[in-house]
Amino acid sequence: MAKTDSNRARRSFRSALRAVSLLGVLAVAAGGSAKAQVAATFSNPLLPSGPDPWVYSDGGVYYYTHTMGKRISLWRTTDITDLANAEQKVIWTPPESGANAHSIWAPELHRLGGKWYIYYSATEAGFKDDAHRGVFVLENESADPLQGEWVDRGRVNTQRPGIDGTVFHHRGALYFAYSPYVGSVSGIALAKLSNPWTITGEEVLIAEPDREWENQGGRRILEGPEFLEGPTGQVYLTYSAGACWSDNYALGLLRAAPGADLLSRSSWTKSPRPVLSSANGIYATGHNGFFKSPDKSEQWIIYHANSGRGMGCTSKRSPHLGRVTWTARGEPRIASPTPPEIRLRKPSGTVNSNSIAMPRPRP
């Protein structure tokens, strides 16, 4: 009887031990799963400050920049959602005088013909009005845009003063888009480039603010054009509508059919309503860029927004990410803005920027 009780006791102890061990394994697994879930997700905004954000993807590396006013900095990372821990460097400061001395806005990094270029907006020293704003270009021959020398190539020879220049390759030609000022109104203009800083041929005004929702904050403004190629050959141009200090600042969309003449105003049709606007407690959504996920399977958008009403057009505008999906007709659908408490899955193929060596810049 004593022996039987002893055997039963040992079996009970072993069962209890196995149960405790299993609970421990499950707890560790759950903890690991929770950590993995956090590591695989992110929340907006990416930084507390980041007006006019821009992302360029090159060989598994993301380069990021935004308006800083008196300088241009680049961030480099393999995880665009982890900008807070990205490498950062000031790569250029403006001269003290001249046409590009003040109000350094909306820098964009591009790789063209084996060289790096930055397009940025600036204002002439001694002026603050729109008539003295223009788009300027920097050039760097280094394989690494955080190294080498940035050479000032001067102002793009636009017909009008303006801001927010960007470029796009299409059917063998390099196109330039910007937001020209026509009096107190600004629209979207397009032209071809013979080199990264020189317009050749005609400059065409393809869109003006003619919708009620494009007249916000007391100004009729279209600005911040950005190209997006559709899945079946369409060409899209997003633009930011209204004044940046308005809570109703929003993104509109222009569309050109496959094979259309991009320099013909009649080739472009405008969306009847914004494709991205204030929602879920996030306001003044605008000035965007587009990029692909690391594995190229997903299209994403980056844009700035405010976390509350009445925050205006300040450095508190912060960078947000969202997915872009495509309808059966090849039209983009941009995800609504999300508040900080919502966690989103990272772009497909993202790796932890702190866990691997940074890929070498391509030559």
Q: Phi, psi at residue 81, to the nearest 5°?
A: -80, -5
Nearest to 308 by CA among 284, 286, 287, 288: 284
Rounded Cα gap, residues 304 and 214, in angstroms? 17
Residue 204 contacts residue 264 (beta carbons within 8 Å): yes
State how far the Cα of 363 lies from the Cα of 361, in Å rounded to an integer.
7
**CA distance to 131, 161, 219, 247, per residue, from 183 (Å):** 8, 10, 11, 24
User: Residues 6 or more apart from 361 whose CB is under 8 A from it?
Assistant: 58, 59, 61, 143, 144, 145
Type and span of the H or E element at 323: strand 318-326
Handedness of CA 187, 193, 57, 52 (dihedral sign): negative
Residues annotated as catalytic are 52, 223
Q: Are 343 and 34 in contact (CB under 8 A)?
A: no
- Tell me which amino acid residue 217 is: G
Of 361, 352, 296, 311, give the one whose Cα is nearest residue 145.
Answer: 361
Q: How far is CA 21 from CA 16, 25, 30, in A?
A: 9, 6, 14
Q: Which of 253, 254, 184, 190 is nearest to 221 (CA)?
A: 184
| CA 162 to centroid of chain Cα atoms | 20
**DSSP string for 197-237:** TEEEEEEEEEE---SGGGEETTEEBEEEEEEEE-TTS-EEE
